[in-house]
Amino acid sequence: MSAPPLFLDETQVRKHLRMEDLIPAMEKALVDFSAGQVIQPVRQVIPVDPPGGFYGIMPALTPESLGEKMVTFFPPNAARGWPTHMALIALFDRETGTPLAVMDGRLITEMRTAAVSAAATKLLAPRDAKALAILGSGVQARSHVDALRLVRQFEEIRVWSPNEEHAQQFADEIGGKSMSAEAAVRDADVVVTVTSSKMSILRGAWLKPGAHVNAVGACRPDWRELDDDAMANVVFVDSREGAMKESGDVILSGAKIYAELGEVLAGKIDNRARETTIFKSLGMAVEDIAAATLVYRGAIA
């Protein structure tokens, strides 16, 4: 009889997950996905209204692993001081289907999202990038600063948030400067949008030619963070199918998707890094399962 599955809480997940290991793991996951080596349906989402939340189901079969993430996104939690995203990830033995582990997925979601943006930044941003602009001041903003500092040597970090007090606190925490969204973005080499906005907060007219944008918020088909001018640049996605179903930035702007990030990482398509680039990140099950596999292997080592 097989052993019972491990249960790993967030403290245990944190012990076994390092951003330095996670970034290359995400690069491999993206390459595998775009090469057709992953079976993964587009995330199924059920609205939970009231209170105005969503429940998502994200299964994936990868060359190494089998698993599923169950995730909740409840924006009203922010007013309570609770996480807006919470999750559980289940892993199964790929050969026998035996349950291996159930682990907290909140931290994995936080870290793998930033790790994927770091992979995109490493590939698409100017090599001499000095100025980073972060639009947002929550969990993802902090995680992105940690991840992007591993792939570029920033001399200046600029912060904007709809909540000025939070923006200033975050800027003080990371050694950055709080300012308006326009001031933060103008002349920035790398821009990250990690807000809960449902309407555009980043204007393409503000972007420096050759800048790179990681667009992480706006995960619903009727939500946006970037205006049409911004989306008229060279657009990369994690999944074409996912973006055409879930990304309001892509759908509402009518933007043309240039490539999946995995195609460029595999060397199949030019990265066009000298141009202004947009990476629209939605997150995929393959990323969660790859990250959870790192945690599991660390836990049983």
Neighbouring residues of 94: CB distance < 8 A, sequence distance ≥ 6:
61, 64, 65, 66
Domain boundaries, the chain: 6-108+286-300, 115-284
- Is 6-108+286-300 a CATH 3.30.1780.10 domain? yes
Q: Which of 103, 118, 125 is nearest to 21 (CA)?
A: 118
Helix (H, G, I), strand (E, B) or coil at 170: helix
Is 115-284 assigned to CATH 3.40.50.720? yes
Q: What is the pLDDT of residue 123?
A: 96
User: Distance (Å, rounded) from C-alpha 43 to C-alpha 84?
Assistant: 18
- So what's the pLDDT on residue 1? 57
Q: Which H or E run includes 169?
A: helix 164-174
Q: What is the DSSP letter of 204?
A: G
Spatial neighbors of 188 by CB under 8 A, at least 6 apart, are 131, 132, 133, 158, 208, 211
Q: What would the pLDDT profile of 107-149 be if each residue is shown by its tens digit?
A: 999 999 999 999 999 999 999 999 999 999 999 999 999 999 9
* Token pair belonging to 111: 């870290």
pLDDT of the residue at 78 = 86
pTM for this predicted structure: 0.95
Q: Are 32 and 263 in contact (CB under 8 A)?
A: no
Which segments of the chain have a pLDDT < 70?
1
Q: Do domains 6-108+286-300 and 115-284 have the same CATH topology?
A: no
Instruction: Please report the pLDDT score of residue 247 as a whole number.
Output: 95
What pLDDT, on a 0 to 100 scale, did the predictor assign at position 112?
97
Rounded to the nearest 10 degrees, what angle do helices 285-300 and 106-124 cross at? 110
What distance in Å separates the CA atoms of residue 93 and residue 171, rounded to the nearest whole number?
A: 43
Cβ atoms within 10 Å, residue 222:
9
| pLDDT for the residue 109 | 95
